[in-house]
Copies of this chain bind each other. A is one copy, B any other.
Amino acid sequence: MIQKLRHFIRSLEKTAIPQLSINCVIFGFHDRNLQVVVNRIALEGARIVVLPGGFVGQNEDVSKAVTRIVKESTSLERIMFQQFAVFGDASRTFGKEFKAMVANMNTEERQELAWISRRFVTICYMALVNFEKIKLHPTQYLETAEWMPIEKSKALSLDHKEIVESALATLRKELPYAPIASNLLPAKFTLPDLHALTEAILGRSIDRPNFRRKILKSEQIVKVGQDDSGQRRPADLYAFRHGKRTSLIDEYKFGF
Residues of A within 8 A of B (CB): 17-20, 56-64, 83, 85-86, 88-90, 119, 121, 123, 172-173, 175-177, 198, 202, 206-207, 210-211, 214, 248-249, 252, 254-256
Give A169's nearest chain B residue, CB to CB. Answer: B252
- 25 contacting pairs across A/B (C-beta < 8 A): A17-B119, A19-B20, A20-B20, A20-B121, A56-B121, A60-B90, A61-B88, A62-B86, A62-B89, A62-B121, A63-B88, A64-B90, A83-B85, A86-B86, A86-B123, A123-B123, A173-B173, A173-B252, A198-B256, A202-B252, A206-B256, A211-B256, A248-B254, A249-B254, A249-B255
Q: How many copies does the complex hold?
A: 2
Residues of chain B contacted by A59 (CB below 8 angstroms): 90
Residues of chain B contacted by A121 (CB below 8 angstroms): 17, 20, 56, 62, 123
Residues of chain B contacted by A20 (CB below 8 angstroms): 17, 19-20, 121
List 14 other contacts, CB 8 Å, given A18-B18, A56-B121, A62-B88: A17-B18, A17-B121, A19-B20, A20-B20, A57-B90, A60-B90, A61-B88, A62-B89, A63-B89, A173-B177, A198-B256, A202-B256, A211-B256, A249-B255
Residues of chain B contacted by A85 (CB below 8 angstroms): 83
- The answer to whether A207 and B256 touch across the interface, beta carbons within 8 angstroms, is yes
Cα(A252)–Cα(B252), bound, Å = 15
Cα(A202)–Cα(B232), bound, Å = 47
Cα(A256)–Cα(B172), bound, Å = 13
A21 to chain B, nearest CB (A): 11
- The answer to whether B58 and A119 touch across the interface, beta carbons within 8 angstroms, is yes
Give A62's nearest chain B residue, CB to CB. Answer: B88
Smallest CB-CB A-B distances: 5 pairs: A62-B88, A206-B256, A176-B254, A61-B89, A61-B90
A4 to chain B, nearest CB (A): 26
Residues of chain B contacted by A211 (CB below 8 angstroms): 256
Cα(A19)–Cα(B85), bound, Å = 18
Cα(A121)–Cα(B59), bound, Å = 12
